[in-house]
Structure 1
């Protein structure tokens, strides 16, 4: 396969990605869209004409995000006015009843699902099912949501005549760990918040492979995305001292200039979600608004590791996910 290159770069913003694109009529769901790169992803899509649903955990945060996007874009609500439309709906990846309720309430076709929400490096936490939180939230929640919305995605492809797209936000954090199938939930090994995060981000990439393997014939393709380093609420579980030690912030809390802005962080998600250069493409991993190269030891922090795109690992993860959610 030829690697997808683009005229964009790590400094490209989401607004620049959609410049000149008309997304009128495209129906898109963005999870975790109340802040950070999620709200910027939604903002740029709405500005280009899309009808975007913000899937958020808290009603008040959803209302604030909707008001913010409408004020900056001139977007309308469900009835439509201005550019695109934007609305919010409740979805909590840690609560399976809200996942099903969100899917049951969805009406009509869906063109794009952007699995943006996530948590990072949390203290050891168990869900009511006993699952490790990061694997549950980052992977299993999105796995359940996508499967519940599968028919809507298929309908979107049928209505538009082009494949619907699923965007799964992975991370360079996947370099830290493959999916450790012998002890996914850290029941026998010592819990490490970064290993758990890395495992969940590998799972996000493998999920994109699995969706493409299983749903491509029905018109649904998926790709994984590394948005880049951005300071957002994702880091809320990290002690300030750890962020200082890593050089992410200074004593005043100002982010390292090497980090991307939230608009730059949203660019790769938006690119994979709607850009013509990704038409008909699935089971790949993107960073800095282009397809990533294979990981190399002499280029740390970049590239995709083989295990994150391995079809056999993806099959194993899909089977495990179905068993856990049965």
Structure 2
């Protein structure tokens, strides 16, 4: 199984990646599309003619972004819908409101390194938001994805996945000391495992799912984090010959998502992990590049799917 290579790289933008792609007649949902990477992902898809739904927690922010995208792309087919991924009822309401095929599902929303919190169901918040909410959304929309005959799911992960596998013995930190970055890493590993198992289960429906690492984008949530000396050293080790070793613009951060969602190079390709416009190789300890072997493990992927389905029952 040869790795996918493309003409794009770390500094490519979403607009460059989607140049020449025609998405007229296709429908896309982007979660967390009211800020940062999500906005630029939605803008790129709209610029190629897609019907775009911004699935957001704040309708006010969503409508503001939608108008901006309409103004900058000339595509008026940009909708806004309420979605709180940490609330199963909100996810169920979004699913119930959707009608017809869905060609592109971009699971972009997420929270990062939050203080310890649990949902009313007892789920750790980062796992609940980053994984379980998107899992419920995708499985709820399965029939619509299948109806599209070639749908793609993009699952946004992170280099943070290398900090932790899914700890099945204590996913929700009930018996172990809570660490916000371990909890984040676990949820980001779950995002990759979801793509692996979704592609296996739904391949016969023409559905493929891949995970992407967008890169470090100075969004509000990320900018407020205090990077440790270890994290800075890892970033420098990953790209020692580049002056701009860490931050990307939102348009650059959205590029890999847009690439995986739209490139003909990925027709029929699923269950893989991409970064900087390329399929990633194995993770090298001490760096922030590559994909951990446990994140692509099909047995772990199947187990996570079964656990997730049980939690949501």
Q: TM class, shorter-chain normalised?
A: over 0.9
1:43-88 CA distance string (max 9 Å, x none): 0110111111000011101111101111111121xxxxxxxx2111
Aligned to 1:251: none
Aligned to 2:283: 295
What TM-score does the superposition give when structure 2 sets the normalisation length? 0.93
1:195-234 to 2 correspondences below 5 Å: 195-234=182-221
Unaligned runs of 5+ in 1: 77-84, 158-162, 249-255
Q: Distance in 2 between matches of 1:222 and 1:44?
A: 19
> How much does 1:282 deviate?
0.4
Whether the 8 Å CA contact 1:134–1:197 is kept in 2: the answer is: yes
> How much does 1:258 deviate?
3.5
The answer on 1:179 being equivalent to 2:175 is: no
1:16-165 to 2 correspondences below 5 Å: 16-76=16-76, 85-157=77-149, 163-165=150-152
The answer on 1:275 being equivalent to 2:263 is: yes
Q: Distance in 2 between matches of 1:219 and 1:234?
A: 35
Change (3 A) 1:43 1:289: same
Unaligned runs of 5+ in 2: 234-243
Whether the 8 Å CA contact 2:32–2:110 is kept in 1: the answer is: yes
Whether the 8 Å CA contact 2:14–2:41 is kept in 1: the answer is: yes
Q: Distance in 1 between matches of 2:305 and 2:224?
A: 28
Q: Distance in 1 between matches of 2:126 and 2:228?
A: 23
1:112-171 CA distance string (max 9 Å, x none): 1000000000000110111100000000000000011000000011xxxxx210100011
Whether the 8 Å CA contact 2:206–2:268 is kept in 1: the answer is: no
1:13-36 CA distance string (max 9 Å, x none): 000001111111111000000000
Whether the 8 Å CA contact 2:164–2:186 is kept in 1: the answer is: yes
Q: State the secondary structure of the residue aligned to 1:45.
A: helix
> Residue 253 of structure 2: which of 265, 277, 284 is its match?
265
Q: Distance in 1 between matches of 2:308 and 2:246?
A: 36
Aligned to 1:3: 3
